[in-house]
């Protein structure tokens, strides 16, 4: 998995009835675009994330 700042991390829910989570990648801390990623959720919360197999990168429209 590789990402750049501005991409979105989409984490698919593994629980019935729970919503997927989407966050903007604000910092890439791994080498060559690899995790971990510092992400910002729509509510302003920031978290350091090591994405699992239920996650996908959505490329930024500006790239």
Assigned domain for 3 exists: no
pLDDT tens string 19-39 = 999 999 999 999 999 999 999
Q: How confident is the model at residue 25, as a pLDDT? A: 97
pLDDT tens string 39-57 = 999 999 999 999 999 999 9
Mean pLDDT over each residue of the chain, to the nearest integer: 92
Q: Does 63 score more than 60 pLDDT? A: no
Q: How far is Cα 48 from Cα 9, in angstroms, rounded to an integer?
A: 12
Assigned domain for 1 exists: no
CB 10 within 8 A of CB 3: no
Assigned domain for 32 exists: yes
The tally of domains found in the chain comes to: 1
Q: Does 60 score more than 90 pLDDT? A: no
């Amino acid at each position: 998995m590789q990402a750049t700042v501005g991409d979105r991390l989409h984490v698919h829910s593994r629980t019935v009835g729970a919503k997927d989570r989407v966050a903007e990648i604000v910092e890439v801390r791994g080498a060559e675009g690899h995790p971990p990623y510092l992400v910002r959720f729509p509510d302003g919360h920031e978290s350091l994330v090591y994405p699992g197999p239920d996650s996908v990168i959505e490329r930024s429209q500006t790239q």
